[in-house]
Homo-oligomer: A and B are copies of this chain.
Amino acid sequence: MTLNRQSTPGADTKAPTRPRLFDKHGIDNYILHGSKAKVDERVDIGYDEKSGYVYWLPNAKTPPFSCKIEDPAKGSKLGGLKSFTEYKIHAQISNGRVVSRRYKQFEWLHEQLVNKFRFICVPPLPGKQIAGRFENEFIEERRRQLELWLNRICHHPVLCASFPVQHFVTCELTEKNNKDWKAGKRKSEKDELREAAWLHCVTHTQSNLTEAQIATQIDAFAQQQPGLETHLKNLNQGLIKYLERHAEIYKPDMQRLGELFSKVFIALQTDTSTSGNQELSLSVSKISASFQGIAELYKTKGSESVRNFNERIQEYIGLLACFPLILNIQRNASECIKSVQQRGPTATPDFSGAIHRGQVFNYVVLAEINFFQKDKVNDLNLYLKSLLHEQIQFYENITVELRAAAATFD
């Protein structure tokens, strides 16, 4: 155990058969007694012996997929009394079709996933907004962020194959035909394989990893996680400030330079007799236009590139923020297993079952950590590369503007 993950003092002295007060997710109870829920789904954890790598095996029938969200449109209900924005969801799967979804249906999906998958990172939905929620800029921002969110879900080997996700991306739903949707909703909401009971459907390949090795890997991540979360949050805040500067300072400064040169142009062109003065005036007018163009670039390319990057960082912060709870449950579960082991086989009715269930849980946590870590490297590489390339383009476009003005002097 690391300093970050101190055990609760006195926890060991309580009877492990009685669920502890903070065992809100029923993990102790599940480890000790298992679950009677019907298992009609299956999640597999693989193990790569060479690299010692524990990972989610993708569901053979429903592997991870991508989604597009397009054409947000204003819809209405009850003869126009209630209005909302509908998004067209296009899942890139064989039986994929375009379905319409409202924000409240995203909320439903989010809730289902959070309830069912306590030990998997389900990132928070981009926040709900009441005021100005039909403004075009907001709707487009919401569309982008929902697309990021849904893709995060659909790229997860476990989440993507779950019933709520499949129902969400495939079930047709209109005001007139909502029977199937409602039936699926009911089915999902009655699902018993949720929270700790869901562990019941997880199978893991035997590995040669010791319990201690698994604990070390989980601990290593638990130590890294807070630092990364903190510094991505700081980066996120810093970029928000930087974006505000684009709107409040960078762009207005360039605009102001454009205006100042434009006034000089007007003053200069009154001199119609000095040789070369009309050419000079035109050059100054072009310089003015260039600075106006640069102001526009700050508003468009310059800002958009930073904003896109920052939305992805924001999403990562949401992902990272899922871990403290998972790691906390894992810490409790470890205490529980340790206590079972210390008391020995005679003290716990289903001793070997409890040890096995504890092991499965640790594999689940490690698979989820490893999935996150691998994605982190791929995603951050991609995001940073895009940021740099877009910023390079932005500054190149600035030089294009300035070169256009410089060319008038040749």
Residues of A at the B interface (CB closer than 8 Å) are 51, 217, 220-221, 223-224, 227-228, 230-232, 234-235, 238-239, 242, 245, 249-250, 253, 256-257, 260-261, 263-264, 266-268, 270-271, 273-277, 280, 283-284, 287, 370, 373-374, 376-378, 380-381, 384-385, 388-389, 391-392, 395-396, 398-399, 402-403, 405-406, 409
Contacts and interface: CB of A to CB of B under 8 A. Distances in A.
Contacts of A376: 274, 277
Given A238-B257, A256-B238, A384-B409, A377 B274 contact: yes
- The 4 A-B pairs with the shortest beta carbon distances in the complex, nearest first, are A227-B267, A274-B373, A388-B406, A231-B263
Nearest to A269: B224
A377 B277 CA distance: 6
Contact of A235 (B239, B242, B260): B260
A267 B377 contact: no
A327 to B, nearest CB: 15
Contacts of A227: 266-267, 270
Contact of A392 (B239, B260, B406, B409): B406
A388 B228 CA distance: 42
B276 A260 contact: no
Given A238-B260, A274-B373, A402-B395, A384 B231 contact: no
Contacts of A277: 373, 376-377
Contacts of A231: 260, 263-264, 266-267
A257 to B, nearest CB: 7
A385 B275 CA distance: 18
A216 B234 CA distance: 66
Contacts of A392: 399, 402-403, 406
Contact of A388 (B287, B381, B384): B287
A224 B268 CA distance: 8
Contacts of A223: 270
Contacts of A238: 256-257, 260
A407 B370 CA distance: 27
A275 B374 contact: yes
Given A231-B266, A238-B257, A385 B399 contact: no
Contact of A381 (B266, B283, B396): B283
Contacts of A235: 260-261, 263-264
